[in-house]
C-alpha cells in the first residue's frame, strides 16, 4: 500500500492550524421563554447545583457554546457520529428559540441513538479482554440490548430482565438436559452475559454490583475492602444470590452452557467450609420463594425505587457519558471516602429518574437542556482547570465506534452504515470498520484522559480508508465539492470544514488556506490541495475529540 508520510511532512505547517480545539459564539435564548415542564425544572435544578458549586470554589463559568459547537457535540453524544453537512446547515438556519431542545428530541427518536447506546452498553457488559470466545458472544449481548434501547424499555426493567434471565435447571434422571442451558432462544443475550462471566457466582456478583450499583465489592472477595466499608462477609452474602448458577461444562470455557439450581441460597467462602447466607448490601434479609431463583429476590431489591444505590449509579453513568467524568468518579466506585462532587445534584437526578419510571431519555433531556452541558469547552478563565467543577465542557475522547461512524459520515462512505452492528470475534479487523474498531480499542478509565498510540495515528494518516476518503478519484465528499458548479475556493473549503468539523472556516484559517488552495499547494494543483486540507481536518485533534 502506498504510504502518505511524505504528504504528511509536506502538510506539517497546515496541521498546526488545527491542533487546538476552539469554539465561541452567542448564548442561546434564556430560560424565561422555556415551558416549565419536568424536564425544564430538572435542568434548572442542575444549573442551580452547579452554580452553587462554582460559587463555593470561586470558579468562573464559561459562556455557552456556539450553535456549531453544540450541534456537533449533541450528535456525537446521542447519535454516536458527527452531523452531516445538511444537518449542520439545517440546524444553523433554524430560527426557533427552542431549536436545541427540538434537536435533542429528534436525535432521541432516531435509529442512531439506539445504535450508539447499544454500543455503549455492550462495551459495559462485555469484559475487556482479548478472549475470542468472549468477543464472539458480543453479538448476542448487542442484539439483546438493542431491542430494549430501541423500545425505550425502562432502565429498571432492562436490568431486571438481565439479572433474572431464565436459566435451565440441571438435568435430572428421566429429564434430558437443555442444550446450552438456554430454555428460550429469546433469552440468548441474557445468557451470554452470564457466559462471558464464566457462569461463576463470584464474577457475576462483581459485575452486577459494579455495573448497576456503582460498587466495586470484588475488592472484598479475599479480605475486607482496604478503603470502603465492605467486608469479606458482605461480598459472599451478595455472591450467594448467584450461588445456584454454574457452568454446564467448565472445560468448554464461555461456550460451556449455564445451569441453575433455583433453591440454592448459600455459598462457601473460597478456602473455607463456612456457609454464607444471601443478604442484600444494605444489610436486609431477603424473602425467598420455593423453586424461584434467588436472582429474582436480588432484582426486586436492586430495582426498587428506595434502593440506595441503583438509581444514583444509573444517573451517574449518564452524567459521565455526557461530561466525560462522573459526579462520583470513577463511576463504579461509590464509597464514603470517594464523595460526589455535587451530592445534592446526584440525588436530584436519581429522584427524577425514579419519578419518571426509570425513563433514561427523561434524564438525557434534562442534562442536555442544562447550561452546564451547553457551555463551551474553551478555557476562558484559569479557575476552570478542575473538570469536576463543570464550569466548562470537558474535552472527551471518542469511542472506536464514534471515530469510524464520524469518518464514514464526513467522507460519504457507502460501505458499512453508521451504527453498524457489533464487530468482534474471528476476522473482525478485515473490514474498514473492523480495522478502525480494532486499532482504537484501548479503553481508558476516563474519556477525559484521551490518548492516541502510534499505530492509531498511522491508521488515520496512512490507512487505506483515509487514503480512499481523501482521494480525488474515490472520495464522494471531495468529488461533490470539487465538481459542484459555481462554488469558489472559500465555499469549497467551508463545505469541507462543515463535513469534518461541523463549522465553517474562521477568518484566520481562511486567510491561510484560500491562498494555499488557489496556489495548488506543493503539487501546484488546487484539487490536490483541497484533498490535502481534507486529510488534515480528518487527522486533527478537533475531529478526534468531542468538545
Chain CA centroid to CA 303, Å? 22
Mean pLDDT of all residues in 364-391: 97
Give SS3 for 87: helix
Chain CA centroid to CA 347, Å? 22
φ, ψ dihedrals at 65, nearest 5°: -70, 155
Indicate the length of the chain as a whole number: 547
φ, ψ dihedrals at 524, nearest 5°: 60, 30
Cα–Cα distance for residue pair 503/89, rounded to 1 Å: 9
Q: Which residues contact 58 (CB under 8 A, 6 or more apart)?
A: 383
Cα–Cα distance for residue pair 231/328, rounded to 1 Å: 21
Secondary structure letter of residue 419 according to DSSP: T
In this predicted structure, the answer to whether residue 28 has a pLDDT above a threshold of 50 is no
Short-list 44, 53, 74, CA closest to 388: 53
Q: Higher-confidence residue: 413 or 285? A: 285
Which residues face 312 on adjacent strands? none
Secondary structure letter of residue 79 according to DSSP: I
φ, ψ dihedrals at 144, nearest 5°: -65, -45
Mean pLDDT of all residues in 451-468: 71
Spell 488-518 as b/e; 16+ CB within 10 A means b.
ebeebbbbbbbbbbbbbbeeebbeebbebbe
**Rg (Cα) of the chain, in Å, rounded?**
26
19: cell is 491542533
Say what the pTM is.
0.88
Residues 470, 531 contacting (CB under 8 angstroms) = yes
CA angle 353, 139, 261 (to 5 degrees): 75
51: cell is 452554580
Short-list 542, 367, 485, CA closest to 17: 542
Which tens digit of pLDDT belongs to each residue from 289-302? 998 999 999 999 99
In 240-294, DSSP assigns E strands to: 245-247, 258-260, 266-268, 275-277
Which residues face 175 on adjacent strands? 172
In this predicted structure, the answer to whether residue 130 has a pLDDT above a threshold of 80 is no
18: cell is 488545527
Chain CA centroid to CA 34, Å? 29
Which residues face 397 on adjacent strands? 545
Q: Higher-confidence residue: 364 or 21? A: 364
Cβ neighbours around 338 below 10 Å, total: 12
The predicted pLDDT at position 218 comes to 82
Mean pLDDT of all residues in 404-418: 82
Short-list 375, 360, 379, 376, CA closest to 321: 360
The predicted pLDDT at position 139 comes to 86
Cα–Cα distance for residue pair 505/510, rounded to 1 Å: 6
Cα–Cα distance for residue pair 509/298, rounded to 1 Å: 58
In this predicted structure, the answer to whether residue 342 has a pLDDT above a threshold of 70 is yes
The predicted pLDDT at position 27 comes to 36
Which tens digit of pLDDT belongs to each residue from 378-398? 999 999 999 999 999 999 999
Cα–Cα distance for residue pair 499/493, rounded to 1 Å: 10
Helix (H) or strand (E) holding 484: none
The predicted pLDDT at position 223 comes to 63
Cα–Cα distance for residue pair 166/6, rounded to 1 Å: 58
Short-list 186, 180, 298, 185, CA closest to 248: 180
In this predicted structure, the answer to whether residue 14 has a pLDDT above a threshold of 50 is no
Which tens digit of pLDDT belongs to each residue from 59-100? 999 999 999 999 999 999 999 999 999 999 999 999 999 999
CA angle 141, 142, 146 (to 5 degrees): 125
In 232-318, DSSP assigns E strands to: 245-247, 258-260, 266-268, 275-277
Mean pLDDT of all residues in 23-43: 55
50: cell is 452547579
Q: Please state, in angstroms and as integers, the Cα–Cα distance from residue 352 to each residue in 105, 308, 366, 445, following that order.
A: 18, 14, 9, 27
Amino acid at each position: 500500500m502506498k504510504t502518505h508520510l511524505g504528504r504528511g511532512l509536506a502538510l506539517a505547517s497546515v496541521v498546526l492550524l488545527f491542533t487546538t480545539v476552539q469554539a465561541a459564539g452567542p448564548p442561546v435564548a434564556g430560560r424565561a421563554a422555556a415551558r416549565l415542564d419536568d424536564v425544564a425544572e430538572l435542568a434548572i435544578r442542575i444549573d442551580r447545583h452547579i452554580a452553587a458549586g462554582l460559587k463555593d470554589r470561586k470558579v468562573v463559568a464559561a459562556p455557552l457554546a456556539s450553535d456549531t459547537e453544540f450541534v456537533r457535540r449533541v450528535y456525537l453524544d446521542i447519535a454516536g457520529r458527527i452531523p452531516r453537512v445538511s444537518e449542520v446547515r439545517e440546524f444553523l438556519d433554524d430560527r426557533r428559540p427552542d431549536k436545541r431542545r427540538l434537536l435533542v428530541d429528534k436525535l432521541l427518536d432516531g435509529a442512531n441513538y439506539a445504535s450508539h447506546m447499544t454500543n455503549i452498553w455492550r462495551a459495559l457488559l462485555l469484559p475487556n479482554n482479548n478472549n475470542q470466545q468472549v468477543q464472539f458472544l458480543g453479538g448476542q449481548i448487542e442484539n439483546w440490548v438493542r431491542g430494549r434501547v430501541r423500545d425505550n424499555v425502562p432502565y429498571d426493567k432492562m436490568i431486571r430482565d438481565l439479572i433474572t434471565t431464565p436459566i435451565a435447571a440441571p438435568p435430572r434422571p428421566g429429564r434430558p438436559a437443555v442444550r446450552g442451558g438456554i430454555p428460550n432462544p429469546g433469552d440468548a443475550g441474557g445468557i451470554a452475559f452470564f457466559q462471558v462471566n464464566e457462569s461463576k457466582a463470584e464474577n457475576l456478583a462483581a459485575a452486577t454490583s459494579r455495573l448497576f450499583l456503582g460498587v466495586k465489592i470484588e475488592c472484598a472477595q479475599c479480605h475486607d475492602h482496604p478503603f470502603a466499608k465492605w467486608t469479606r462477609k458482605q461480598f459472599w452474602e451478595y455472591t450467594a444470590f448467584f450461588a445456584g448458577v454454574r457452568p454446564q461444562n467448565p472445560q468448554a470455557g464461555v461456550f460451556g452452557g449455564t445451569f441453575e439450581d433455583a433453591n440454592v441460597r448459600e455459598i462457601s467462602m473460597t478456602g473455607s467450609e463456612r456457609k454464607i447466607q444471601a443478604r442484600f448490601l444494605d444489610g436486609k434479609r431477603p424473602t425467598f420463594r420455593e423453586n424461584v431463583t434467588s436472582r429474582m429476590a436480588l432484582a426486586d431489591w436492586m430495582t426498587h425505587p428506595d434502593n440506595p444505590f441503583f438509581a444514583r449509579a444509573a444517573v451517574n453513568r449518564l452524567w459521565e457519558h455526557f461530561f466525560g467524568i462522573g459526579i462520583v468518579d470513577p463511576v463504579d466506585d461509590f464509597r464514603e471516602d470517594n464523595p460526589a462532587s455535587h451530592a445534592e445534584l446526584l440525588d436530584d437526578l436519581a429522584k427524577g429518574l425514579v419519578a419518571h419510571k426509570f425513563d433514561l431519555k427523561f434524564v438525557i433531556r434534562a442534562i442536555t437542556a442544562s447550561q452546564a452541558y451547553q457551555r463551551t469547552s474553551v478555557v476562558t478563565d484559569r479557575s476552570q482547570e478542575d473538570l469536576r467543577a463543570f464550569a466548562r465542557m470537558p474535552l472527551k475522547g471518542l469511542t472506536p465506534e464514534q471515530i469510524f461512524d464520524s469518518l464514514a459520515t464526513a467522507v460519504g462512505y457507502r460501505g458499512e452504515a453508521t451504527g453498524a452492528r457489533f464487530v468482534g470475534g474471528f476476522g473482525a479487523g478485515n473490514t474498514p470498520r473492523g480495522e478502525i474498531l480494532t486499532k482504537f480499542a484501548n479503553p481508558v478509565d476516563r474519556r477525559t484522559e484521551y490518548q492516541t498510540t502510534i499505530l492509531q495515528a498511522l491508521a488515520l494518516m496512512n490507512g487505506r480508508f483515509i487514503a480512499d476518503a481523501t482521494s480525488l478519484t474515490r472520495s464522494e465528499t471531495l468529488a461533490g465539492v470539487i465538481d459542484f458548479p459555481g462554488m469558489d475556493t472559500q465555499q469549497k473549503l467551508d463545505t469541507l470544514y462543515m463535513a469534518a468539523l461541523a463549522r465553517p472556516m474562521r477568518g484566520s484559517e481562511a486567510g491561510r488556506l484560500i491562498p494555499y488552495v488557489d496556489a495548488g499547494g506543493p503539487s501546484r494543483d488546487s484539487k490536490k490541495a483541497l484533498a490535502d486540507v481534507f486529510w488534515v481536518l480528518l487527522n486533527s485533534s478537533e475531529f478526534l475529540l468531542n468538545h
